[in-house]
Amino acid sequence: MLGLEGYDVTGIDLTEAMIDRARKLIEINEPYTCDLQAVVMDAENLDFPDEIFDVVITRNLTWTLPHPIQAYSEWYRVLKKGGILLNFDAEYAKGAHNLKNQNNIAHKNISDKMKEECHKIYHMLTISTLDRPEWDVNVLHQIGFESVEADYEFGDRMYDVKDEFYIPDKMFMISAKK
């Protein structure tokens, strides 16, 4: 979406399969008037120089990370002075107990075996035990971010329709300025 608006975009993911999908989306929407690239990379160990990006955007990522403080530190490092972090996330790990809930439309066609496997993984992640986004806000301040704010109502405004992607866990947005 940002590429279609003319912004240069570098997308990363840990898996080649997701990067392949991103590259196909880039091809489908060509031509662009900006630079778009998708690369395999670990969000906790970025292979970018310091202070290269104006904005870092993450969506549904932080809750999956084994070392979220390391990721936040890396995102701070690659942001230019005055740069903005936008983190869209939820306490999905705590919501792992809701995988069989009828309101969890996004997971209704996943097998019980897969739901149990997901549940086990969620409980292995330290972030699953934390009160978010309060924890995130405190960590971001400690790292050096300024103007850190959490928007608790973001998910309600963004997902007012319960379509096939609906998950009852409350999504939030965190914005922070370097």
Q: What is the pTM of this model?
A: 0.86
Quote helix, strand, coil % in the chain, to nearest 5: 40, 25, 40
Strands 171-177 and 79-90, by their bridges, are antiparallel
| pLDDT of the chain, 178 residues: tens digit per residue | 888 889 999 999 999 999 999 999 999 888 888 999 999 999 999 999 999 999 999 998 998 899 999 999 999 999 999 999 999 998 776 655 555 566 655 566 777 787 777 777 777 888 888 899 999 999 999 999 999 999 998 887 877 666 666 566 778 999 999 9
Q: Determine the distance from the C-alpha atom of residue 77 to the mean position of all C-alpha atoms in its chain, rounded to a whole number.
A: 17
> Domains in the chain, start-ordered, CATH in brackets?
42-177 (3.40.50.150)
Q: Among 13, 28, 99, which residue's Cα sits nearest to residue 58?
A: 13
Provide the residue count of the chain: 178
